[in-house]
Amino acid sequence: MSQQKHCQSGIPTFSENHSWTVVLIVMDNLVEVDNMTFRRVDRVIYEGISLKVPKGKITAVMGPSGIGKTTLLKLIGGQLLPEEGDIRFDGESIPDMSRSKLYHTRRRMSMLFQSGALFTDMSVYDNVAFPLKEHTKLSDDVISTIVSLKLQAVGLRGAAQLMPSELSGGMARRAALARAIALDPDLIMYDEPFAGQDPISMGVLVKLIRELNDALDLTSIVVTHDVTEVLTIADYIYILADKRVIGEGTADEIRNSDSELVQQFLKGEADGPVPFHYPAESLSSSLLGGAE
Amino acid sequence: MKFFQSIGAKTLAKLSTAGRAALMLFGALVAVPKFKNVSLTIRQVYVVGVQSLLIIIVSGLFIGMVMALQGYTILVDYGAEGSLGPMVALSLLRELGPVVTALLFAGRAGSALTAEIGLMKATEQLSSMEMMAVDPLRRVVAPRFWAGMISMPMLALIFSAVGILGGHMVGVDWLGVDAGSYWSIMQSTVEWDKDVLNGVIKSLVFALVVTWIAIFKGYDSIPTSEGISKATTETVVFSSLAVLGLDFVLTALMFGIE
């Protein structure tokens, strides 16, 4: 509604400059992380981090492992609470939500876990039907149709009756993806979707993430450290390191970034701003210290 | 100074664990019972109850047999072997039934509950359930808790019944105690409220403690293979100790003061 209004008011006085402003106003953010600080026990994970996830786009969050990328997704999902700052989903603050409001909001978001996190005591069919059975009052026939369609979308309709233990890693992740889109969410968060996949499953997942995002009008957040795959599908990229955002932009902007840290990450160099050695006293003093 | 600090830190850690355990139980129990959860609970009764039947029946049978054998060798010296029936029945209904069932339950079903919930946590199944806006306390923990509460008293009664039959096999069929006196003296001695009901109350208390410990240890476990193995061990150790300790307290309350 608001989009139309802006467009209509923007068109009559059309000029190159003006149309750009209109686009900016129209572009809404589904998730906004605002100056957020989070720590685990004594270790600071994020310090005053801010990022925005625009509606309908694929936003990638990259960074070295152990930086707390999964933690970021759990913070957006309200499973963890930030110490300072705010996280907003569609304009509403997640940390301030009551429990029932949070559970209600979570129906609009879904998360694809790294392991897939399929329920091991249920078949693929029951896994995909699970959120539908829990949250809707649809008849079994309707649920069966929806599940078939979702499984068809990820290419696993023939595997509906298999148990999760009978699936390969790539298939498990696709089954979990079918479950994640079962309720037609607004936001889907992928936690390391490419980790440990063979080239074919990787290609399948890249294709699925892009196609589902466009076909279902989703907003996607992809957390990963697989540089090549992400640069091909992401509309906007954030690179995290050292508790903050060290680089952001479109794929081209990131490729041409002049930050040493970003370049080290993209090229996969062993040593650089992120040192090869875990902090320690120098080797010579450690060896001499042992001799004394 | 460090010593006192560590005492303080440990006490705080223990208190916060107790708090988390209470919150978990509360979260699981305030759940509005849904029809869906009833069928989940029934399924869990099958898993923790029906599948424990074999170990309960076999143990009950042998304990009854051993008690009859031991009891007979003592009672026969006083010519009181007719009292074998009530001796076997009272020991089983008041003590051995609830206590041994609880110990076996902790080993058979409690450890399985801890490992199952711990692995669900480790494989992010609980987390993904939360993200699907389904509360794992209601969906996973509550049905298992109620299944334990329903199964344990029934298992204890079955244990006692089978034990009494085992005692009959050894005492009457083998050692030649008169069958009439075995049953009739048992009937006149055993009281419904004092013996049978108190035994059921005991096993309800044990069910609460053992199931609570088992599900909490799984839910609160560190999601690694080491963490789950530790949690499973702790479930069996803690619940066995709790059962034996509580049994003394309950016995003192029920039978101590006449």
Mean predicted confidence (pLDDT) in B185-199: 91
- Residues of chain B that touch chain A, judged by Cβ-Cβ distance less than 8 Å: 36, 123-125, 127-128, 130-135, 139
Which has the minimum average pLDDT: A184-188, A223-227, B194-198, B254-258?
B254-258
The token duo for B39 is: 């069928």
- ipTM for the whole complex: 0.76
The token duo for A77 is: 């999902």
Integer angstrom CA distances of residue B100 from A112, B61, B147, B237: 45, 12, 19, 14
pLDDT class for B31, splitting at 50, 70, 90? low
Query: Of the candidates A103, A119, A135, which has its C-beta nearest B125's C-beta?
Result: A119
Residue B34: the pLDDT is 67
pLDDT class for B258, splitting at 50, 70, 90? low
Residue A10 has pLDDT above 60, yes or no: no
Residue A4 has pLDDT above 70, yes or no: no
Mean predicted confidence (pLDDT) in A219-235: 86
Task: Output B227 or A17, whichever has higher pLDDT.
Answer: B227
> Is residue A215 within 8 Å of residue A183, measured between CB atoms?
no
pLDDT class for B96, splitting at 50, 70, 90? very high
Q: What is the pLDDT of residues A66-117, one digit of tens each?
A: 777 888 888 998 888 888 888 988 888 888 888 888 988 888 888 898 888 8
The token duo for A200 is: 């074919």
pLDDT class for A25, splitting at 50, 70, 90? very low
Among residues B77, B97, B100, B78, which one has the least CA distance to residue B88?
A: B97
Cβ-based contacts of B30 with chain A (< 8 Å): none
Give the C-alpha separation, A273 to A266, whole Å: 13
Where would I find the H helices in chain A? 2-10, 16-26, 69-76, 99-106, 124-135, 140-153, 169-180, 199-215, 227-233, 251-255, 260-267, 283-291
Q: Smallest CA–CA separation between B109 and chain A, in Å? A: 17
Task: Output B125 or A42, whichever has higher pLDDT.
Answer: B125
Residue A290: the pLDDT is 58
pLDDT class for B33, splitting at 50, 70, 90? low
Residue A220 burial by Cβ neighbours in a 10 Å radius (0-12, 13-18, 19+): buried
Residue B212: the pLDDT is 94
Suggest the residue from B116, B132, B140 to mutate for an interface test with chain A (most A CBs closer than 10 A).
B132
Cβ-based contacts of A176 with chain B (< 8 Å): 128
Residue A24: the pLDDT is 47
> Is residue B120 within 8 Å of residue B113, measured between CB atoms?
no
Cβ-based contacts of A183 with chain B (< 8 Å): 132
pLDDT class for A8, splitting at 50, 70, 90? very low
Suggest the residue from B128, B134, B224 to mutate for an interface test with chain A (most A CBs closer than 10 A).
B128
The full set of domain ranges for chain B reads 52-256
Residue B204: the pLDDT is 95
The 3-class secondary structure across B176-230, one letter per residue, is CCCHHHHHHHHHHHCCHHHHHHHHHHHHHHHHHHHHHHHHHHHHCCCCCHHHHHH
CA A32 centroid distance within chain? 13
Give the C-alpha separation, A103 to A121, whole Å: 24
CA A90 centroid distance within chain? 16
Task: Output B206 or A1, whichever has higher pLDDT.
Answer: B206
